[in-house]
Each structure stands twice: as structure tokens, then as C-alpha cells.
Amino acid sequence: MGPDEHADTAWAAHDLGRVIVSQVEVARRVRELGAQITRDYEDHPPLLVCVLKGAINFMSDLMRAIALPVEVDFMAVSSYGAATKTSGVVRIVKDLDVDLAERHVLIVEDVVDSGLTLNYLRQYLGARAPASLEVCALLLKEGEQRVEQDLKYVGFTIPSDFVVGYGLDVNERYRNLGAIYTFVGQP
């Protein structure tokens, strides 16, 4: 671990493998994505839809990097349970509070692996007649997609390892790490 990593990872060190994306790299890329979204949505500020819980850190930093009067809402979906592989069965745990009709909507997602959950969300939200519906994913796992994805914004393409940190978890742990690590422990 370098000096840019979370200062206190001793409690998690036995479960963490290598650093996939450092805290400094995450911060730099989030600023770049925020600037790009600001340019792209200049005339129609988007509604940011955070997919809980994994995208909460990303959403918090991203919305502050966007120089527009954005609005936010939250959805919670489940396809993992306590596992480290998606079940492929998507369950809506918390739905949106706002109407999407004629709104420019940007889904903020933590990681896209199989793409099944994101595909379901796009269909589910697309049925609500938004003016536009795009995705901003922090991570895209290489070679894992079972569904063709058209992602407008991607932070990083990473290997297909299971990762934790910066909002990503196993059994609700490791979300508070500043960097993104491979997970080598037991779920």
C-alpha cells in the first residue's frame, strides 16, 4: 500500500489483496467524469440515480464534481445477497421517489460485471419515459458481461476479480476503504 491509501486498513489487511485502483486514481478519475458530465449535460442537468449501497461513495464524490444543479435519488437492488457472484435474479429493495417522465436520467453504478442487473434497471427505468437514460459506472469488469452494454461513462476497466473498497463490500464490510482492492478473504 502506498501513502495515498486509506490510513487505517490494518483491521482488513488479512482480507485484502492488491490495490486495483488507488485512492488518488479514484479521485482524479471522478473529477474527470464530473467535468465530462458537466459538458454533456450543460443544457439539461441530470437526475442522478444512485444504485445503493455500493455506489454511495462514488455518487457522493461525483455529484460534487459536476458543476450543474443536479438532483439525486436512490434505488436499492439486490442480486448478490451474501455471495461474491451475482445470482442473476434482481430484486428492487427501494424504488425511486421522483417521476422520471421527460427527465434526463443518469444511473450511477459502482461495478458492472455480468450486466444483468444494469440491463434490468435500464428496462425498468426506461419504461418510465425519461427524456434520456445513460449510465455512469465506476468499474467495468473485463470479459464478464453476459449482456451487451452501452456505457456512456466508465471510470475504470478492471480484471474480473472480486473487489472491495470505495463503497464496494462483502457482507457490508470494507465500504469505507479509500482505495479499491481485490478481496482474498472468505465471504
pLDDT digits (tens, 9 = 90+) for 94-153: 989 999 999 999 999 999 988 888 888 999 999 999 999 999 999 999 876 555 678 999
Provide mean pLDDT across the span 143-170.
86
Q: How far apart are CA 50 and CA 168, in angstroms?
A: 13
> How does pLDDT run across 170-186, given as a tens digit for each residue?
999 999 999 999 999 88
In whole angstroms, what is the distance from residue 140 CA to residue 22 CA?
16
What is the extent of the structural domain holding 99? 36-183
User: Per the domain annotation, does 173 fall within a domain?
Assistant: yes
In a domain, 2, yes or no: no
pLDDT at 1 over 90: no
Residue 94 lies in a domain: yes
Paired sense of beta strands 16-21 and 180-183, if any: antiparallel
**74 occurs within a structural domain:** yes
179, with CB counted inside 10 A (0-12, 13-18, 19+), is: buried
In a domain, 170, yes or no: yes
Question: Which residues are catalytic, by number?
Answer: 113
Residue 28 placed within a domain = no
Confirm whether 7 is domain-assigned.
no
More confident of the two residues 9 and 158: 158
The SS3 call for residue 99 is: coil
Pairing type for strands 104-112 and 132-141 reads: parallel
Counted domains in the chain: 1
Residue 50 resides in a domain: yes
Give the dihedral of Cα atoms 134, 137, 141, 146; nearest 10 deg: -30
- CATH number of the domain residue 59 falls in: 3.40.50.2020
